[in-house]
Amino acid sequence: MSTNLNKLENRLWEVANNLRANSTLSSFEYSTPVLGLIFLRYAWHRFKPLHEKKEKESSSRVTIGPEHYKAEGVMYLPEEARYDYLLQLPESEDIGQKVNEAMEAIEQENRELAGVLPKEYKRFDDSMLKDLLKNFSNVGTDVEGDVFGQIYEYFLGQFAMNEGQKGGEFFTPTSIVKLIVEVLEPYGGKILDPACGSGGMFVQSEKFRQRHRDQAQQNLSIYGQENKENTVRLCKMNLAVHGLEGDIKTGNTYYENLHDCVGRFDYVMANPPFNVSGVDKEAIEGDPRYPFGIPSTDNANYLWMQEFYSALNNRGRAGFVMANSAADARHSEQEIRKQMIEEGVVDVIISIGSNFFYTVTLPCTLWFFDKSKQGTDRENEVLFIDARNIYRQIDRAHRDFTPDQIEFISSIVRRYRNEEEVHFEVAAEPDTDYEANGSAVTQPDEMEDLFDDGEYQDIPGLCKVATVEEIEEQGWSLNPGRYVGVAEREEDDVDFQVRLQELYEELELLNVESKDLEKSISDNISNILNR
């Protein structure tokens, strides 16, 4: 994003956050109504110029109605829902009630938003609400509409960071989403997120499609499902503020197949909750969305993976976030993983470092399925990338990727797929300086420094293409650390925190293997004694 937009976001957030700090509202109580005001300001930004144009066109013979606005892709705003009307209300008015009425009026005129917009403004002090309205009115009238979408995303991220665990339920950090999108390449078609949160996957997918209109054959049709009604509202507002619509439904994905998902989608993207226990296995027995069987362990990770796999059509791709432990899970989960690998759909596995997420500090893994590689030279191969040492340090507790880093990682995947090398302008954010933390940025400035003649090749410590046979030798593990190895070092410049994390992960793997070995020894001795 441009430096000016960055400054604008920071200024708007600082004012809004200071107002909350001087109130009795928690960050959680404050977040949705404030996001609603950003939505209201965006709706006015889109409505005002068209309204002025329509007023000039109207005559005694032609009456301009709501349908004329919707025909041009603009929400119709009744007078009481227009931002300048609210902004000009005198201090003596009940402003909270007026904003509630504005939201209700918008919903009545735009049925796709029925029940979506927040109406909790009576709990705000009128002077505080007035200040917030003034704050968001400072966004210039000459900005492009998507600026409001970016501001909305920025506020979502800030609220998620402040809310910690609750925030992580609805927001996936944008740089992780962008990386998934760049690897998935959603040029058009049907896209599903069965754990859609606030809809960031959809927004970034559409931005990708817009950047690559030459390759895009069709529009994106958006389908989502989310367990919490409040989060569904956040998602629908997020889509609307980006000028998008989608079929977003409320329901428990484990038990409710609300979009008739099997074999239907070109793309599936998700950041599902990790290591969920307590799923009623009897209730899902025989569900076609779980074709490899129900895992015996009380952990839903491999249920989610099968959700993603089964939703794809025969050319579909999936990209999702997963707990590191899933790559080496044993017993019934190992058997499911083996079947997926032998099916030839597991395409790319990327290790991500710690501190990218607001809910947990632990590292994670990105998994990618590609049904279109069945029957190709890549069918019996999987690309592993270790990106744990690639990051930008935001503050002591948080990291992200810069656009250049996203481009670097996704370019490895494109070379592996033998796709025409295109530099994708990942974020389309000129005039921004990204300051990395010391040794945080490990990739070279030029990809050609690594890949001779632009062709893919294995790089120790970074990437490795492993065959199914090699994966079988590793007990069907999909942990990149088992394949990628360690880069050669000319001197001892080890980042202690990174190395300690690597050793900890290796210890956890050895502990799992030792338990299996102990059980095997115990069973063998027991068999000998019982002869």
Q: What is the pLDDT of residue 279?
A: 94
Lowest mean pLDDT among 149-158, 337-346, 454-463: 149-158
Taking 50 as the threshold, does the pLDDT of residue 89 lie above it?
A: yes
Q: What is the DSSP letter of 273?
A: P
User: Is the pTM here over 0.85, yes or no?
Assistant: no
Highest mean pLDDT among 31-45, 146-160, 488-502: 31-45
The residue ranges of DSSP E strands in 180-276, in sequence order, are 189-193, 220-226, 247-250, 265-270
Residue spans of the domains in the chain: they are 1-158, 164-426+441-482, 494-530
| Gap between the Cα atoms of 160 and 483, Å rounded | 35
Q: Which two tokens stand for residue 100?
A: 């509630």
pLDDT band at 186 (very low <50, low <70, confident <90, very high): very high
Contact 376, 383 (CB under 8 A): no
Taking 70 as the threshold, does the pLDDT of residue 390 lie above it?
A: yes
Q: What is the pLDDT of residue 427?
A: 37
* Run of H or E residues at 36: helix 27-57
Higher pLDDT, 157 or 110: 110
Q: Which two tokens stand for residue 304?
A: 């989610």
Contact 171, 398 (CB under 8 A): no
pLDDT band at 446 (very low <50, low <70, confident <90, very high): low
Q: What is the pLDDT of residue 163?
A: 63
Across the chain, what does the average pLDDT equal? 83
Taking 80 as the threshold, does the pLDDT of residue 159 lie above it?
A: no
| Gap between the Cα atoms of 310 and 312, Å rounded | 6
Lowest mean pLDDT among 9-13, 57-61, 144-148, 325-329: 144-148
CA distances (Å), origin 217, targets 188, 242, 317, 428: 6, 21, 16, 21
Taking 60 as the threshold, does the pLDDT of residue 421 lie above it?
A: no
Taking 90 as the threshold, does the pLDDT of residue 294 lie above it?
A: yes
Q: How many CB atoms lie within 10 A of CB 90?
A: 7
Rounded average pLDDT over 198-203: 90
Q: What is the DSSP letter of 240?
A: H
pLDDT tens readout for residues 249-286 = 999 999 999 999 999 999 999 999 988 999 999 999 99
Q: What is the 3-state secondary structure (H, E, C) of 125-188?
A: CHHHHHHHHHHHHCCCCCCCCHHHHHHHHHHHHHHHHHHCHHHHCCCCCHHHHHHHHHHHCCCC
Contact 264, 275 (CB under 8 A): no
* CA angle (420, 426, 429) in 5-degree steps: 145
Rounded average pLDDT over 27-47: 85
CATH domain 1-158 topology: Ferritin (1.20.1260)
Rounded average pLDDT over 156-178: 71
Lowest mean pLDDT among 313-327, 373-387, 500-514: 500-514
Contact 411, 186 (CB under 8 A): no
Q: What is the pLDDT of residue 439?
A: 36
Residue-by-residue DSSP string for 412-424:
HHHHHTT------
Q: Helix 146-163 to helix 200-211 angle, to the nearest 10 degrees? A: 150
Closest CA to 32 of 160, 224, 139, 203: 160
Closest CA to 443 of 410, 420, 490, 472: 410
pLDDT band at 306 (very low <50, low <70, confident <90, very high): very high
pLDDT band at 455 (very low <50, low <70, confident <90, very high): confident
Taking 70 as the threshold, does the pLDDT of residue 138 lie above it?
A: yes
Contact 121, 33 (CB under 8 A): yes
Q: What is the pLDDT of residue 487?
A: 60
Q: Helix 95-109 to helix 27-57 angle, to the nearest 10 degrees? A: 60
CATH assignment, 164-426+441-482 = 3.40.50.150
Highest mean pLDDT among 26-40, 50-64, 379-393, 450-464: 379-393
Lowest mean pLDDT among 176-180, 259-263, 406-410, 447-451: 447-451
Q: Which two tokens stand for residue 76?
A: 């119709």
Taking 60 as the threshold, does the pLDDT of residue 49 lie above it?
A: yes
Q: What is the pLDDT of residue 43?
A: 87
pLDDT band at 424 (very low <50, low <70, confident <90, very high): very low
